[in-house]
Structure 1
Amino acid sequence: MTDTLLVPTPNNDDQPQRLADFRTFGEAIDYAAMGKKGMNFHDARGNLARVYPFSELREDALVAARRLIAKGIAPGDRIALIAETGPEFAALFCGAVYAGAWPVPLPLPTSFGGKENYIEQLVVQLQSSDPKVLFYPAEIGELTGAAAARQGCEGQSWEDFARSEAPDCILPESKPDDICYLQYSSGSTRFPHGVAVTHEALLNNLGGHSHGMKLGPDDRCISWLPWYHDMGLVGCFLSMIANQISVDYLKTEDFARRPLAWLDMISRNPGNSCSYSPTFGYDICARRISSQTNVAERFDLSRWRIAGNGADMIRPDVMQSFVNAFADAGFKASAFLPSYGLAEATLAVTLMPPGEGIRVELVEEERLSGCKRDLSRPARYRAIVNCGKAVKDMDLEIRGEKGQALADHHIGKVWCRGPSVMHSYFRDPEATAECLVDGWLDTGDMGYMVDGYLFIVGRAKDMIIINGKNHWPQDIEWAVEQLPGFNHGDIAAFSVESENGEEVPAVLVHCRVSDPEERVRLHTTIRDKVRSITGMNCVVELVPPRTLPRTSSGKLSRAKAKKLYLSGEIEPFRLLQAA
């Protein structure tokens, strides 16, 4: 079937739009299926390959539900699914919901980490979620089958599952406070936990962010985000159903190879485009545009209404580079919509009101470090991005070390409370009790409020505390990234204990320089740069490219980088001389 024979699902139809005002997600699927909108899957070059209306999704999901029940799956059983972007996963996820089971999206293999690391990651999540069966695409059956066998659960390709019997049966009736699915956090700062999300929590958050973004019937989503991460799963898959929005999908691995195909797809949308990305997605696209490229001829980004940004610290310099690269294609900086969220709150906690763009505050170092500035040194500032206001029904509070609420402009721990905060961590009451207190969720992030707007400073557990002074790893990493030849994600900063027992900052840096003398010069340059930021000597290690570990969602994992470095599993390059 060729692209010319396919007609994508429409941006608008005659069905009245409902913004996630359903009792259960099954009801949301039923309503979406009554219209003409749906999903549209694209190939590696961004060409339309499969049109999948919500009506067809519902039919396939009901068949999948009957097959699951025929396999003996009961309400409350976990169904693990490798989250490949495609109709098979979508139908199985929704089918599990219809059957009353809890779908558990798990990651695909990535280009980093190796086969054994991937199997181990799956085994950990399978042990935690204890599913009855793991479904997967046949092409990765060797890896996923090994993980299922190691855990002792059944493994089945969805091709084989599609050939199984689907006898008629009565489907269980879900209630709003039933668990809808388990979402695994990316594991960037702690051991991955299965976040249990109820139907009520899911729909409250989907309604909250759709109202916050002012989603309308003419909006269309374009996404390359993975479906095992909360922003991809909740924001660009489940939300499309609950808010009846047509969506175009590019697989994550295809975006990695051809990032500009994402912008080609946005350009082809005749209506309003809504598309989300972490900072690195915008960074990759801006870097791929050469000075010879006529962006105005290739792209039309003038109808990109919401260019969402979240899932990681937002870099205003990178966002400005994107504006500079694509302004001639009609992209408007006001389209940027910063946000803040986490799986434990289902997805969104705050959203910038549409049209306000990226707003920053310059914050002096002494406010960030908690220490008085050395007056012999000039004042240093960091640009902190405004992540917007709380979504509908969400309460926010900034708390100090003793748990007291702090006033505006005071940095502390970010806490939130609302109907979309998670039910619990699955089978982990201790971890649940650690972060859920009287209905309030300790997000683990540091920030401050100003007139109802939230500013995020960084992860509390990532903070480097040396001699009573706080150093944010992002500041060190961003400073080194400004040196020529480095990309976003090439640097990991954390603290280590020196030979004399004192804590010092350590910086691991991807090194693409092969000449030994050039490496020594690079090492010295980085050391001097970090000293200018921290005011102290540091450990600098040059490591081979692609060495620094990532989470399943592609974010740098500082905690794992530190662990691998201290255990000797990350081997730095040896230098000719002590620098």
Structure 2
Amino acid sequence: MSSPTGRSLWDGLLTAAASHRTSLHCWDGDGFTAFPWSEVVRDAERMTLGLRRAGVRPGTTVATVLTNGVSPVRGLLASWMAGAAVASLPVPARGMNVQEYAAQLGKICAQLGAAAFIVEERMIGLIPEEITAVTPALSWESFEGSGRVDPSPPDEDALAFVQYSSGSTSTPKGCMLSPRAIAAQLDMITTMLELTPRADVSVSWLPLSHDMGLFGCLLTCLWADIDDYLSTPERFMVAPGTWFSDMAKVGATVTAGSNTGLHLAARSASRVRQWPNTGLSQVRACIIGAERVEAHTLLTATTSLAPAGLRPEAFMPAYGLAEATLAVTATPLAERPTTLAFDAGALADGELREVDADAPSATVIVGAGVPCAGVDLSALAALPGDRLGEISVVSPSLAMGYLDDRERTAARFVDGGVLTGDLGFVRDGVLYPVGRVDDVISIAGRKVYSREIENAVDALDGVRRGSSTLVAGNDRGAIRLTLLVELGKSTTNYRELADQAATVAMAKAAIALDECVFLPRNSLPKTPSGKTQRHRCQHMLNTGRFTPLATVALAGV
């Protein structure tokens, strides 16, 4: 009934907090305001009577969009104390309009049968009718100070949390997590990072609606009794450099972010120096995950942040997924990330053919480290050493399945593990994730790995990093390859850039693009962690939802 260290989730998050001497520090627009963890938990307990009067009790579910602030954190803990499960709904993907997002949330709330939909007070006026028609809409602040009831959190193997995916490859799925699974995950992260109570300090801008922000940062800090400086994704997007400047100012030792976020922050840091030369020398761990980590991102970050004292071995590429609560593998502390180079065309066919990293057909894969404590990747490791395979994960922090989706649960949760839908391989004990099974496009009798072409196009001058997407449509029975490209700077020479992209596609995968569609910045739909939603890109292209700057016809047209 407990984690490998002997603590239940509720002992680790609620009971132990009474003796904590560390704090949650929330960004308030001007600076960080400190809320001692012990007071956060006490304040949460004083919300439980109001929640109970609102119908929140054991066996019910509270739906919410977890925004970055102290009220949602109190509310999450209070809901658990009141006995309810909490369903964390996705924030809108970039490119999703208000009507689409409202319909998505309304559908999820109807499926949940939630006792209430509860958010920060500032969001109440934004709640659409699609939600209020099926679920009472309330604010966390309205319950503060209402009184307490005796805590009755969910049993260790009951439903405690529903983590909805961002929908980067499909309709959002609700991963059902038990207290036992969450506790095991928090233990994994604490052990992996060798966190020291009251000594380590964390900084994060990641949204709490994302598993990396919630489990990887916030709850790990409460579990491990360390200070957590919680910024906001909105502040990060306006000023990416604040991620590392915050770390320098508060003496952070650990942090986490996405590949896209690291690229933006490193690029910003290379232009502006706001911290002393040794400001980042105390950083032990900078976990990078949420999407495939790219070698050029690590190189950019290492070059940009080295003058501030950040060591290359501080970067810890990792792999995880919501179905495993979060972390599956991570680069060991104080070890530099590993890379291997393969022929991109062979890789698309599932063959691992090593080449020099500077070969025209090369694609460089970054290792995501070794399995976390208790994680088993033996099914993938047992495959022939020269072949890709689907990553299968056995872990003590696995989800119980997908909410109200027995068919998908039966297909993905197999033999005590989960089939991830990601391709990869294990070499010398290190996992190398390559990409989604869905990223492989079959054309003219051969397979193409779309991500390898996109990575190469991203490196072209004028293309916005991380903002090119290859989609395969059907044109009277034939596959039509369209490259969607956001521009990083103004240009009118679309033909030259399209020809360069076509040359890259031919060199990397021996395929001919049919057209390049150039788009303004922020046109491509993306998840909060920065992953492009390929299926929505295809839908938006098919339905004329994009407003192109230019469309350049290429081969076969």
Provide TM-score, normalisation by structure 2.
0.91
Query: CA distance change for structure 1 residues 577 and 381 in 2, over 3 Å: closer, same or farther?
Result: closer
2:224 and 2:535 map into 1 onto residues whose CA distance is 37
Does the 8 A contact of 1:25 with 1:242 survive in 2? no
Identity of aligned residues (%): 27
Query: CA distance change for structure 1 residues 26 and 178 in 2, over 3 Å: closer, same or farther?
Result: farther
Per-residue CA distance 1:404-462 (angstroms, 9 max, x = gap)? x5144431000011221111111111111010112110011000011221110111112
Aligned equivalent of 2:356: none
| 1:336-375 equivalence runs, <5 A | 336-370=315-349
**Higher deviation after alignment, 59-68 or 227-236:** 59-68
Query: CA distance change for structure 1 residues 543 and 82 in 2, over 3 Å: closer, same or farther?
Result: same
Aligned equivalent of 1:15: none
User: What is the SS of the residue equivalent to 2:535?
Assistant: helix
2:5 and 2:239 map into 1 onto residues whose CA distance is 33
| 1:119-138 equivalence runs, <5 A | 119-138=102-121
2:5 and 2:79 map into 1 onto residues whose CA distance is 19
Q: Report how far residue 334 of structure 1 moved.
A: 0.6
Q: In the alignment, which of 462, 486, 489 is matched to residue 510 of structure 1? A: 486
Establish whether residue 550 from structure 1 lines up as the match of residue 526 from structure 2.
yes
User: What is the SS of the residue equivalent to 1:492?
Assistant: strand
User: What is the SS of the residue equivalent to 2:202?
Assistant: strand
Does the 8 A contact of 1:104 with 1:181 survive in 2? yes
Establish whether residue 440 from structure 1 lines up as the match of residue 403 from structure 2.
no
Aligned equivalent of 1:394: 375
Per-residue CA distance 1:282-330 (angstroms, 9 max, x = gap)? 1112222455x45663771101110110000101111111111111111
Q: In the alignment, which of 189, 192, 195 is matched to residue 215 of structure 1? A: 195
| 1:50-65 equivalence runs, <5 A | 50-65=33-48
Establish whether residue 113 from structure 1 lines up as the match of residue 96 from structure 2.
yes
Aligned equivalent of 1:38: 23
Establish whether residue 300 from structure 1 lines up as the match of residue 279 from structure 2.
yes
Aligned equivalent of 1:241: 222
Aligned equivalent of 2:54: 71
| 1:477-556 equivalence runs, <5 A | 477-499=454-476, 501-511=477-487, 518-539=493-514, 540-556=516-532
1:260 and 1:513 map into 2 onto residues whose CA distance is 20
Query: CA distance change for structure 1 residues 406 and 111 in 2, over 3 Å: closer, same or farther?
Result: closer
Establish whether residue 161 from structure 1 lines up as the match of residue 143 from structure 2.
yes
2:380 and 2:191 map into 1 onto residues whose CA distance is 28
Q: Report how far residue 112 of structure 1 moved.
A: 4.5
| 1:155-304 equivalence runs, <5 A | 155-162=137-144, 165-166=146-147, 168-172=148-152, 174-217=154-197, 218-270=199-251, 273-290=253-270, 293-294=272-273, 297=276, 300-304=279-283
1:470 and 1:294 map into 2 onto residues whose CA distance is 45
Give the aligned residue type for 1:286.
Answer: A
1:88 and 1:552 map into 2 onto residues whose CA distance is 21
Q: In the alignment, which of 295, 315, 321 is matched to residue 316 of structure 1? A: 295
Query: CA distance change for structure 1 residues 93 and 261 in 2, over 3 Å: closer, same or farther?
Result: same
Q: In the alignment, which of 448, 467, 489 is matched to residue 471 of structure 1? A: 448
Q: Report how far residue 522 of structure 1 moved.
A: 2.6
1:248 and 1:300 map into 2 onto residues whose CA distance is 16
Gaps of 5+ in 1: 1-17
2:472 and 2:431 map into 1 onto residues whose CA distance is 28
| 1:423-462 equivalence runs, <5 A | 423-462=400-439
User: What is the SS of the residue equivalent to 1:542?
Assistant: strand
Q: Report how far residue 20 of structure 1 moved.
A: 6.2
Q: Report how far residue 255 of structure 1 moved.
A: 1.1
Query: CA distance change for structure 1 residues 572 and 142 in 2, over 3 Å: closer, same or farther?
Result: same
User: What is the SS of the residue equivalent to 2:332?
Assistant: coil
- How many residues get paired? 546
Query: CA distance change for structure 1 residues 117 and 488 in 2, over 3 Å: closer, same or farther?
Result: farther
CA RMSD of aligned residues (A): 2.6
User: What is the SS of the residue equivalent to 2:472?
Assistant: strand
Q: Report how far residue 357 of structure 1 moved.
A: 2.2
Aligned equivalent of 1:11: none
Per-residue CA distance 1:117-160 (angstroms, 9 max, x = gap)? 3323322332333311111223332322434224x110012233
Establish whether residue 28 from structure 1 lines up as the match of residue 13 from structure 2.
yes
1:359 and 1:222 map into 2 onto residues whose CA distance is 25
Give the aligned residue type for 1:342.
Answer: L
Q: Report how far residue 95 of structure 1 moved.
A: 0.7
Provide TM-score, normalisation by structure 1.
0.88
Query: CA distance change for structure 1 residues 320 and 19 in 2, over 3 Å: closer, same or farther?
Result: farther
Query: CA distance change for structure 1 residues 173 and 248 in 2, over 3 Å: closer, same or farther?
Result: closer
Query: CA distance change for structure 1 residues 391 and 577 in 2, over 3 Å: closer, same or farther?
Result: closer
Gaps of 5+ in 2: 354-358
Q: Report how far residue 107 of structure 1 moved.
A: 4.0
Q: In the alignment, which of 90, 107, 114 is matched to residue 73 of structure 2? A: 90
1:445 and 1:390 map into 2 onto residues whose CA distance is 16
Give the aligned residue type for 1:382.
Answer: T
Aligned equivalent of 1:10: none
